[in-house]
Amino acid sequence: MEFRFLARLINEKLHDRTTYILAAVVGLLINGYGQLLVPWFRSNLNPFEVFLTELNTRPGWTILSVFLAFAFPFCVGIYSAVASRYKSRRMESLAQFPEQKPDPVFRAKKDGRFVEVGANTQKFFSHFNIVSAQGILGEEIWARITSGEQSGNNFVTDFDADGNKYVVVHALTRDEEINVYMTRISGLKLDG
């Protein structure tokens, strides 16, 4: 699985135009400095003549040095992009959680207005015409959540519109907003 993930990251970077633009710009800078400016600083001769002399004298080494000036930033660019994405894959996965979770996940202000809603949750809310936290949880549970009951307490609620029961877990944020995570438990008998 890790190999497939790395291969996908490398493939994405290989299909990104900026990979080649960056390698070209840095490669030109390295070649300009190494093939033209350094010989000019050292000998005060025409650097193009020095380069052509090197190319005639040692064509293999000269072409290799020009190629390496482009290949090095290309490889470093791919490595750094893939390594940073690989290291941050856990955070990326967590960030996608609200968008992908099939059950409602949202953040609301204490008055019940939604602040953030995942894509699947937005579809669910639109389907059932829900415009506030009270619309999905009911006035009683929302009042218990906003009254300061400890974050993380579980509540069970019936949502009659879809005929399912949900376990509701909430967490207060630093901004005095409330994150709500709902999980459908249809078919299970639980006391709220």
Is position 123 within any domain?
yes
* 8 and 71 fall within a common domain: yes
What does the pLDDT look like over 54-105, one tens digit per residue?
A: 889 999 998 999 999 999 999 998 988 888 877 776 666 555 666 667 788 8
CA distance 16 to 34: 28
* 19 and 72 fall within a common domain: yes
Least confident of 22-26, 28-32, 132-136, 156-160: 156-160
Name the residue with higher pLDDT: 109 or 118.
109
Instruction: Please determine, for residue 192, whether its predicted confidence score (pLDDT) is greater than 50.
Output: no
Is position 143 within any domain?
yes
DSSP secondary structure string for all residues of 83-131: HHHHHTHHHHHHHHHHHH-SS-EEEE-TTS-EEEE-HHHHHHHHHHT--
What does the pLDDT look like over 134-185, one tens digit per residue?
A: 998 888 889 888 887 555 568 888 888 888 888 888 888 888 888 888 888 8
pLDDT of residue 57: 93
* Domain termination site, one of 87, 118, 153: 87
CATH code: domain of residue 173: 3.30.450.20
Residue 127 is part of which domain span? 94-184
> What predicted TM-score, i.e. pTM, was given to this entire model?
0.50
Domain count within the chain: 2
Is position 189 within any domain?
no
* 78 and 100 fall within a common domain: no
* 180 and 129 fall within a common domain: yes
* 81 and 98 fall within a common domain: no
Q: Chain-wide mean pLDDT for the chain?
A: 83
* Domain termination site, one of 30, 61, 87: 87
Is position 179 within any domain?
yes
* 25 and 82 fall within a common domain: yes
pLDDT of residue 96: 60
* 81 and 19 fall within a common domain: yes
Q: Is the dihedral of CA 153, 124, 142, 158 positive or negative?
A: negative
What does the pLDDT look like over 117-126, one tens digit per residue?
A: 888 888 888 9
The residue written with tokens 């893939």 in the block is 82
Coil vs helix vs strand at 152:
coil
* 163 and 122 fall within a common domain: yes
* 13 and 71 fall within a common domain: yes
* Domain termination site, one of 23, 58, 87: 87
